[in-house]
Amino acid sequence: MPTNGERLSPLEMLSRLVAFDTESDKPNLALIDAVCAYLDGWGVPTRRFPNAAGDKAAIFATLGPVADGGVVLSGHTDVVPVTGQAWTSDPFTLRVADGRAYGRGAVDMKGFLALGLALVPDMLAAGLRRPIHLLLSYDEETTCLGSMDAIARFGDDLPRPAACLVGEPTGLDVADAHKSIVTCLTTVHGREAHSSRPELGANAVSAACDLVAALNGIADRMIERGDASGRFEPPSTTIHVGTIQGGTARNILARECHFHWEYRGLPDLDPGEIPSLFAQAAAEVTARRLNRYGAFGRIETLEEVAIPGLAPDPGSEAERLALRLAGRNHTVAMPYATEAGRFQGAGIPTVVCGPGDIAQAHQPDEFITLEALAAGEAFLRRLIAECAP
């Protein structure tokens, strides 16, 4: 990546970004170093926010005046793994063919980052009166925590923005709402005994099956309640059990069983409701099944990830700006989670709006069309014009 003020087209910038293997379980520092060097070449200072382990970092940069009231363009540098996927070319070498740019992260979401970075010279030349901030984060694909250190500094030693545009691929539709996601690990601790003498132990697998059935029951309640807004597909809060593992042998009461589960909540879901319902079910299963013959077992649930939803904020600065820039007259809702709820939780009006189709994200031969990339460029050029004199 150039360090001396050299211009790159969005496609050239995307090629440079895709070349960095920033799978979510790997460091992103090589990409961050390159972006910092590129911005430094244009005289743009950056603030770096490393993680605790020191192997990843987010960066924040301001184009235009260092002042409150600007617009944040937020995007994550991490991508999902490629292991086990049937790619027809190197996922970390951008391949352009048939009007598409193929590569891991091309649409989710290095395409948006490439546009923001490639247009830095134009932002500088425009003499912005309203600042445009670039925030490149990490760990969005796992926890959405990589932007939090920077967000915490807004209004302190970083300017406080008036709006945030999270550039996840929406086809430049303006999303003002999305579901939350909470992931949990439940471990059932039992007591081993021979299957001919069940009264001497506690079967963790049997108890876990009861808990999964309880989650199915809670899920049914959520489906019956539905989506009062009528905007989401599927039209309810959803609950899903992804893995379950336990037991030693068919003739031994299982000493331990654990399962991973998640729920994706509508924006109006009380965040304590499903944990409370599950805790009640766990207490019942402990008494009825696990400890039927004695105080042999217990149930533990660890909340691993909790990503807030994005609630509609009609007429917000972010919504009005994005609708104007995208040429849309209505907002949409999304079933998946993003970093947007983190910004909204800090009081920053936020929407999700970016180029490309989310259907291509996380897939083998992930791509963004050149048409979508051009539309995203036009969107950001309109933003520059709005922020200039």
Catalytically active residues are 78, 140
Q: Which residue is associated with the tokens 């009231």? A: 69
Residue 314: CA atoms inside 13 Å, Cβ hemisphere, count? 2
| Structure token pair of residue 305 | 């990830």
- Contact status, residue 226 vs residue 239, Cβ threshold 8 Å: no
3-state secondary structure (DSSP) of residue 324: helix
| Structure token pair of residue 17 | 């970004």
Instruction: Quote the CA–CA distance of 300 and 151 in Å, as a whole number.
Output: 32
| Structure token pair of residue 334 | 């999304």
Question: Bridge-partner residues for 72, per DSSP?
Answer: 133, 164
Local structure of residue 9 (DSSP, 8 states): -
Local structure of residue 289 (DSSP, 8 states): I
DSSP string, 161-189: PSEEEE---STT-EEEEE--EEEEEEEEE
Which string of b and e fits 194-210 if b means at least 16 CB within 10 Å?
eeeeeeebbbbbbbbbb
- Contact status, residue 372 vs residue 173, Cβ threshold 8 Å: no
